[in-house]
Amino acid sequence: MSVGRLCTRTVSIASADEPVLEAARRMRDHDVGTLAVLDAERRPIGVLTDRDVVLRVVAAGRDPATTPIGDVMSRPAVMVHEETPIEDALARMAGNATRRLLVVDDEGRLVGVLALDDVLDLLAEEAAAIGRLIRR
């Protein structure tokens, strides 16, 4: 199965020049801990996580109202193509010590996000189906 079939297609986004305060409010409003940071062509250039906000803004004593996302975001964005097999995506997550991958199309534009939880949900469903077969 490819990443594109499993990824979440609704992604909260931000631009590098907007203030961290606006991004933090968007995280709160959308109940997410990560925003994909995109350039003008919708290509990922980084991610802003709630951890970035705490460590690189709050703990550093920076003003979130004036600090641009681009100054504190995690980069580079860890990405996979939407046709990438799930197994390869898991290896990429492990190799980059991340639980989320941005999913891009042939032009490198954002089309979704794959979270480790998405893969675990799929595995749980498949394990349950195997269990039902064994019980028969």
pLDDT tens by residue, the chain, 136 residues: 899 998 999 999 999 999 999 999 999 999 999 999 999 999 999 999 999 999 999 999 999 999 999 999 999 999 999 999 999 999 999 999 999 999 999 999 999 999 988 888 877 777 777 777 788 7
Q: Distance between CA atoms of 73 and 58, rounded to whole angstroms?
A: 13
What predicted TM-score, i.e. pTM, was given to this entire model? 0.86
Q: For residue 47, what is the domain's CATH number? A: 3.10.580.10
Among all chains, which residue has been given the structure tokens 């550093």? 60
Which helix (H) or strand (E) covers residue 3, if one does? helix 3-6
Long-range own/partner contacts, residues 56-65 (CB < 8 A, 24 or more apart): 57/20, 62/20, 64/19, 64/20, 64/21, 64/24, 65/19, 65/20, 65/21
Structure tokens at 135: 């019980």
Domain of 84, in residue numbers: 3-135
Q: What's the structural domain count of the chain?
A: 1
